[in-house]
């Protein structure tokens, strides 16, 4: 069953000579239970695409449908209702509310949906338990680690049982171990609960969990393998398009590509620090 | 959403304290100013309302006893007493006197009264005797406290030495206080051997005040006849005309201060938590739910501020009664009700600007790290 359908969606910011086409004629169909990963460099239009799918922006052209229901023509209240019931959001910077503890943060969308106090707290506690966070339910975000915050955010995204979960760089602010844990949790959610997950990222660690991997560059969705040659920056780990790399170094017959001058300078200052990882990662 | 609003508000104690403190001070200001006005009004009219006479006879052209001077020959007393429907007629001798006390200029509103029929005498005695001797004077307790006057102390008024033989209450006119002497002493001190300021008429049980008044007025064109209610109203107007506009302006300022304090603290909280409100919008909050969040925070600050403000006003009133006797404030339940309504209105108005700000927050912003 198709949960999400994008037909020739374009989003342009500005007008005339200053117009920027952030999303350019994208068509996409996502089925129930699929975990789609959309990768792309910074400025490629990933976040704009997620905002469009999340009914937070309206496309300049084209149509977006969730469960075959077109978003165009829906008023503010209907769009808010759609976000509340049909979509769960997981943000890069967690976006938990500082005044609320973990349980109340998770329960917030249920409160917005009019679920009674006890029922929403029970539901939030159950979700936190499933994500291994039951013991941290009474803690406020400031007392939680990055990985814990993201697990709370995932629980919040699921509390109204939405069919579609949108995750924006969910591992970007996490260390390696926490990042993997969050990834596997999202994968588990997709499999166990038949949720459709659309994740945008530039973190190459995410690729193994994806049912489908898409590449976004200059606002256009491409098949990464055939259209672009990419490489991981050995310093920051970001997946970059080779032809747009800020610089490159030849080390022992291997070419390393860098996303920016900053990473290049870091590498030049201490190449040994980054070489082992590079070799392990690529086996070269 | 109410619980979220309450948690949001209480999470930042300092901001809550500022908000509540501002409202409390505004409420205290409003309560005390309103109380001051009520007290002034009641004090000015209270003395006249207490006098057990139904009809007042004054000199034609008299406005009120504080701004105009009425002279009625005492001989008119016997003639009026003979009018049908009149049971008794008493002289009213009263005038403000200034004299030096403890090297300072002091004011008393000196009233003559008959201790055996104390129609114009003190309301209640606090200490000493209610029967002043020929050189005795009863002073109001506010005057006594303000000037450190004690029983037995000598006051030299218009060259006459009077001994304080009693201290009473209920004779504070705010700007000055009452002092009571016997009628012969009042005539001597005030230099009014055969004239009075007014005549107080007690009616026979079956008599109609209007009929008797008409008969007295017909008796002499130089006399002005008013019933007690008219006398009270005319003297109250002294306060309402002079103080009400000032008090009203101050009440409006107090209200505006309350609105500004709640509005600014909630607005600054919204600015600071702009991202969180964006998150709530992104998650699917409706506009009315955000209104509830903001209005609840403003209303909670207003309710707590109101309670604290009333407490502060009571404490300030008690402290003033002890340390600043001239400051009077009378708090009546009806005023507390409308002040509660005004405080709620503060919260509603204060919510408007933060809500406008929230309406402009783009939920899509929350995707930016």
Read off the pLDDT of residues B165-178 as tens digits, 9 standing for 90 and up: 999 988 887 778 99
Q: Are residues B217 and B263 both part of a single domain?
A: no
**Does any CB of chain B come closer than 8 Å to the CB of residue A92?**
yes
The count of domains in chain B is 2
pLDDT value at position B291? 84
pLDDT value at position A276? 59
In terms of DSSP H, where are the helices of A165-257? 176-192, 224-227
Q: Are residues B207 and B247 both part of a single domain?
A: no
Contacts of B3 in chain A (CB under 8 A): 104, 111, 117
**Does any CB of chain B come closer than 8 Å to the CB of residue A173?**
yes
**pLDDT tops 90 at residue B330:** no
Q: Are residues B175 and B263 both part of a single domain?
A: no
Closest CA to B149 of B169, B129, B164: B164
**Does any CB of chain B come closer than 8 Å to the CB of residue A118?**
no
**Number of Cβ within a 10 Å radius of residue B145:** 17
Q: Are residues B20 and B74 both part of a single domain?
A: no
| pLDDT beneath 50, residues of chain A | 280-284
Which among B221, B248, B265 is the end of a domain? B221
pLDDT value at position B307? 94
Q: Are residues B68 and B214 both part of a single domain?
A: yes
Residue B176 belongs to some domain of the structure: yes
pLDDT value at position A282? 44
Residue B52 belongs to some domain of the structure: no
Q: N- to C-terminal Cα distance for chain A? A: 42
* A54/B151 Cα distance (integer angstroms): 85
Residue B231 belongs to some domain of the structure: no
Contacts of B281 in chain A (CB under 8 A): 80
Closest-CA distance of chain B to residue A274, Å: 27
Closest CA to B110 of B51, B155, B53, B49: B155
Contacts of A98 in chain B (CB under 8 A): 11, 273, 276
**Number of Cβ within a 10 Å radius of residue B8:** 24
pLDDT value at position A280? 45
pLDDT value at position A107? 93
The CATH number corresponding to A2-226 among 3.40.30.10, 3.40.50.410, 3.40.50.300, 3.40.190.10 equals: 3.40.50.300
Between chain A and chain B, the number of residue pairs with CB atoms below 8 A apart is: 82
Which residues face B127 on adjacent strands? B167
Beta strands in B5-85 (DSSP E): 55-59, 72-73
Which among B221, B245, B274 is the end of a domain? B221
Q: Is B137 within 8 Å of B181 (Cβ atoms)?
A: yes
**Does any CB of chain B come closer than 8 Å to the CB of residue A257?**
no
Residue B226 belongs to some domain of the structure: no
| Closest CB from A47, A83, A99 relative to B282 | A83
pLDDT higher at B189 or B259: B189
Share of chain B above pLDDT 70, in %: 99
A253: left (phi over 0), alpha (psi -120 to 50) or beta: left
Q: How distant, in Å, are the alpha carbons of A23, A219, B314 from that of A209?
A: 25, 23, 68
- pLDDT confidence tier of residue B329, bands split at 50, 70 and 90: confident
Residue B228 belongs to some domain of the structure: no
Q: Are residues B215 and B142 both part of a single domain?
A: yes
Closest CA to A52 of A17, A95, A7: A7
Q: Are residues B87 and B135 both part of a single domain?
A: yes
Q: Are residues B65 and B210 both part of a single domain?
A: yes
Q: Are residues B297 and B200 both part of a single domain?
A: no
Q: Are residues B268 and B330 both part of a single domain?
A: yes
pLDDT value at position B368? 66
What's the average model confidence in pLDDT over B204-229? 87
pLDDT value at position B51? 87
Q: Are residues B214 and B66 both part of a single domain?
A: yes
Residue B12 belongs to some domain of the structure: yes
Which among B187, B221, B255 is the end of a domain? B221
* B361/B339 Cα distance (integer angstroms): 34
What's the average model confidence in pLDDT over B330-335? 87
DSSP conformation class of A238: B
Contacts of B367 in chain A (CB under 8 A): 47, 50-51, 56, 91-92, 168
- pLDDT confidence tier of residue B274, bands split at 50, 70 and 90: confident
pLDDT value at position A227? 59
| Closest CB from A91, A99, A108 relative to B367 | A91
**Domain ranges in chain A?**
2-226, 232-282
Please report the ipTM that was assigned to this predicted complex: 0.76
pLDDT value at position A224? 58
Q: Are residues B191 and B272 both part of a single domain?
A: no
pLDDT value at position A284? 39
Helix or strand or coil: residue B119?
Answer: coil
What's the average model confidence in pLDDT over B315-337? 84
**Does any CB of chain B come closer than 8 Å to the CB of residue A143?**
no
Task: Kindly report, residue by residue over A222-245, the tens digit of the pLDDT.
Answer: 765 555 677 888 888 877 777 778
Closest-CA distance of chain A to residue B283, Å: 6
Share of chain B above pLDDT 90, in %: 30
pLDDT value at position A228? 63
Whether residue A51 and residue B364 make contact (CB cut-off 8 A), yes or no, is yes
pLDDT value at position B198? 92
Whether residue B289 and residue A112 make contact (CB cut-off 8 A), yes or no, is yes
pLDDT value at position B232? 86
| Mean pLDDT estimate for chain B | 86
Q: Which residues constitute the domain of residue B356?
A: 2-45+237-367
Helix or strand or coil: residue B185?
Answer: helix
What's the average model confidence in pLDDT over B259-284? 82
């Amino acid at each position: 069953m198709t949960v999400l359908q994008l037909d020739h969606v374009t989003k342009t910011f500005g007008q005339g000579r200053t117009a920027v086409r952030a999303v350019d004629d994208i068509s996409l169909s996502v089925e129930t239970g699929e975990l789609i990963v959309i990768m792309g460099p910074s400025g490629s239009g990933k976040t704009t695409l997620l905002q469009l799918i999340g009914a937070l922006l309206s496309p300049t052209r084209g149509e977006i449908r969730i469960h075959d229901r077109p978003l165009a023509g829906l008023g503010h209240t209907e769009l808010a209702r759609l976000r509340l019931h049909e979509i769960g959001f997981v943000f890069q910077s967690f976006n938990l509310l500082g005044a609320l503890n973990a349980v109340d943060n998770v329960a917030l969308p249920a409160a917005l949906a009019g679920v009674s106090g006890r029922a929403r707290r029970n539901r939030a506690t159950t979700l936190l338990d499933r994500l291994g966070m039951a013991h941290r339910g009474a803690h406020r975000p400031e007392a939680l680690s990055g990985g814990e915050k993201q697990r709370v955010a995932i629980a919040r995204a699921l509390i109204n049982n939405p069919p579609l979960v949108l995750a924006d760089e969910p591992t970007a602010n996490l260390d390696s171990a926490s990042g993997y844990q969050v990834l596997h949790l999202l994968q588990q959610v997709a499999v166990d609960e038949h949720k459709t997950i659309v994740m945008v990222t530039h973190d190459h660690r995410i690729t193994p969990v994806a049912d489908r991997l898409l590449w976004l560059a200059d606002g256009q969705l491409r098949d990464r393998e055939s259209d672009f040659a990419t490489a991981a920056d050995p310093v920051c780990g970001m997946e970059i398009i080779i032809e747009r790399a800020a610089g490159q170094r030849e080390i022992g017959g291997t070419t390393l590509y860098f996303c920016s001058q900053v990473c290049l300078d870091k590498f030049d200052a201490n190449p040994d620090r980054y070489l082992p990882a590079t070799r392990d990662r690529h086996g070269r | 959403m109410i619980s979220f609003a309450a948690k949001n508000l209480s999470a930042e104690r300092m901001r809550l304290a500022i908000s509540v403190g501002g409202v409390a001070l505004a409420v205290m200001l409003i309560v005390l100013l309103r109380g001051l006005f009520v007290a002034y009004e009641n004090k000015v009219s209270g003395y006249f309302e207490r006098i057990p006479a139904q009809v007042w006879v004054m000199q034609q052209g008299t406005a009120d006893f504080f701004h105009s001077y009425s002279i009625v020959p005492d001989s008119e007393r016997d003639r009026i007493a003979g009018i049908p429907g009149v049971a008794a007629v008493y002289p009213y001798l009263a005038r403000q006197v200034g004299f030096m006390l403890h090297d300072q200029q002091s004011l008393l509103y000196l009233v003559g009264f008959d201790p055996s029929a104390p129609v114009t005498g003190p309301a209640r005695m606090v200490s000493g005797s209610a029967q002043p001797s020929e050189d005795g004077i009863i002073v109001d307790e506010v005057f006594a406290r303000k000037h450190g006057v004690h029983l037995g102390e000598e006051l030299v008024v218009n060259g006459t030495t009077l001994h304080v033989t009693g201290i009473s209450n209920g004779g504070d006119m705010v700007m000055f206080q009452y002092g009571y002497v016997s009628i012969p002493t009042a005539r001597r001190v005030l230099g009014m051997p055969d004239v009075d300021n007014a005549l107080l008429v007690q009616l026979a049980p079956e008599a109609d005040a209007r009929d008797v008044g008409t008969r007295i007025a017909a008796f002499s064109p130089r006399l002005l006849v008013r019933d007690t209610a008219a006398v009270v109203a005319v003297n109250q107007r002294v306060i309402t005309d002079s103080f009400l506009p000032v008090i009203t302006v101050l009440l409006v300022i107090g209200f505006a201060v309350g609105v500004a304090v709640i509005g600014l603290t909630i607005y600054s909280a919204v600015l600071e938590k702009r991202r969180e409100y964006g998150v709530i919008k992104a998650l699917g909050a409706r506009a009315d739910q955000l209104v509830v969040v903001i209005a609840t925070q403003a209303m909670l600050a207003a309710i707590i501020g109101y309670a604290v403000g009333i407490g502060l006003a009571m404490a300030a009133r008690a402290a003033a009664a002890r340390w600043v006797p001239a400051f009077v404030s009378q708090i009546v339940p009806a005023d507390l009700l409308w002040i509660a309504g005004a405080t709620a209105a503060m919260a509603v108005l204060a919510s408007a600007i933060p809500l406008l700000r929230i309406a402009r927050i783009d939920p899509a912003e929350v995707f930016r790290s």
